[in-house]
Amino acid sequence: MMIISAVNGLVLWNFFPMHMRGAEMTFTDTMHVTLAGVGALFGVLTVGLGVASFRNWFRLYSISTILILVVPGTLAFLYVPEVEGNHPTAWLGLTERISIYGNTVWQLALAIVLLRGEIAREAMLKASF
């Protein structure tokens, strides 16, 4: 899921940039919004796999991360009509960043959990010899 999400992000930013406000919306703008939605879905699914795969504090952290992704992400997508109509979107950037950085921090926490598990396994192997 993380790889698919990364590929989606590469396509999104490199091939479908948003135009400046005031310019007429084009196909690239529509695709940008569509791929951003797909990326958000992959992000939630990735964290959902974390909920299913881990226990204790990381499961609870993953559930709270899903809320951090869904609530601001939903608020961000509610701004689409304002973006299309070239109206002010005072909180759009903040809601997008909360959602994006929430996923990034979750990935960092996942990496730490996985590395700690690997270190513990190596220590057990060394102790058994």
Stated as kind and residue range, the H or E segment containing 100 is helix 92-128
Has residue 107 got a pLDDT over 90? yes
**By residue range, what is the domain housing residue 105?**
2-128
Q: Residue 61, Cβ neighbours under 10 Å: how many?
A: 18
Helices 56-77 + 27-53 axis angle, to 10? 160
Residue 11 is classified by DSSP as H
Structure tokens at 71: 């609530």
Phi and psi dihedrals of 79, rounded to 5? -85, -5
Q: What is the pTM of this model?
A: 0.80
Number of domains in the chain: 1
Per-residue pLDDT at 111 exceeds 90: yes
**Cα–Cα distance, 27 to 58 (Å, whole number):** 40
For 24-63, what is each residue's pLDDT tens digit? 888 998 898 888 888 889 999 999 999 999 989 999 999 9
Q: Determine what percent of the chain is predicted with pLDDT higher than 90.
A: 36
Q: Is 41 left (phi over 0), alpha (psi -120 to 50) or beta?
A: alpha
What pLDDT shows up at residue 65?
Answer: 95
CA 129 to CA 75: how far, in whole Å? 55
